[in-house]
Amino acid sequence: SVLNQEKGRIPKKEKPPFITFVLGGPGSGKGTQCAKIVENFGFTHLSAGDLLRNEISSNSENGAMILDTIREGKIVPSNVTVKLIQRAIESSDNDKFLIDGFPRTEENRRTYERIIGAEPNIVLFFDCPEDEMVKRVLSRNQGRVDDNKDTVRKRLEVFTSLNLPVINYYSQKGKLYKIRAVGTEDEIFEQVRPIFAAVESLLKLYDDSTRSNKDLLIFKVP
């Protein structure tokens, strides 16, 4: 805005957004915890699965292919998912996002980096035992076509073989925050809260600065 420019600050859209990837197996509680982060810290929640399900319900050209892929617990082609995420980020006024359930594969990750031209600032990993994840998914009752025994088994296999390498990648980069995703929703959120309290302080510093320096957003939570 003019006000910002007068004060010598960088207008909001010219600053890179703060991106958090939220990872974890099926039913680990990603969506549940994202809702709490939205409520407490004002992030915009973009669930890759929800963006894909919207494509099915709006009868888009890729809808049938996406439905088949989700039924099988497989992964939708990277360019399709990344374009949906890109469109959602660009059409938002917010500058801090939770990208939930993406990237699922190393190929997803590289495609995101190529198209968006950036890496996430931090990555959360909800680490939950398999038997607990299966129990949660099978009692979810939201009418999802993939919440059945057979597809859950396939989703768990895909998680282990394709998603864990992505999680290891971000761990090696020092960007990963691992949450022990057992206990009540509130108990789990008490592990999440300090991470976003630190992010909030950092973003405040950044908002007050005149720099568009991305390095300011590389930090360690105490």
Ligand X SMILES: Nc1ncnc2c1ncn2[C@@H]1O[C@H](COP(=O)(O)OP(=O)(O)OP(=O)(O)O)[C@@H](O)[C@H]1O
Ligand Y SMILES: O=c1ccn([C@@H]2O[C@H](COP(=O)(O)O)[C@@H](O)[C@H]2O)c(=O)[nH]1
Check residue 101 for interaction with ligand X (CB under 6 A): yes
Q: Residue 144 annotated as binding?
A: yes
Of 101 and 206, the one with the shorter C-beta distance to ligand X is: 101
Write the DSSP symbol of residue 35. Answer: H
Binding Mg ion by CB under 5 A: which of 24, 31, 73, 103?
Answer: 31
**Residue 38 in contact with residue 44, Cβ under 8 Å?**
yes
Check residue 140 for interaction with ligand X (CB under 6 A): yes
Amino acid occupying residue 215: D
Query: What residue 185 binds from ligand Y, ligand X, Mg ion, none (CB within 5 to 8 A, per partner kind)?
Result: ligand X
CA 187 – CA 170 distance, rounded (Å) = 25
Handedness of CA 75, 77, 80, 82 (dihedral sign): positive
Check residue 109 for interaction with ligand Y (CB under 6 A): no
Q: Residue 183 annotated as binding?
A: yes
Rg (CA), the chain: 18
- What distance separates the 2 farthest-apart alpha carbons in the chain? 59
Check residue 185 for interaction with ligand X (CB under 6 A): yes
Query: What residue 81 binds from Mg ion, ligand Y, ligand X, none (CB within 5 to 8 A, per partner kind)?
Result: ligand Y
Task: Give binding residues for CMP as ranges.
Answer: 108
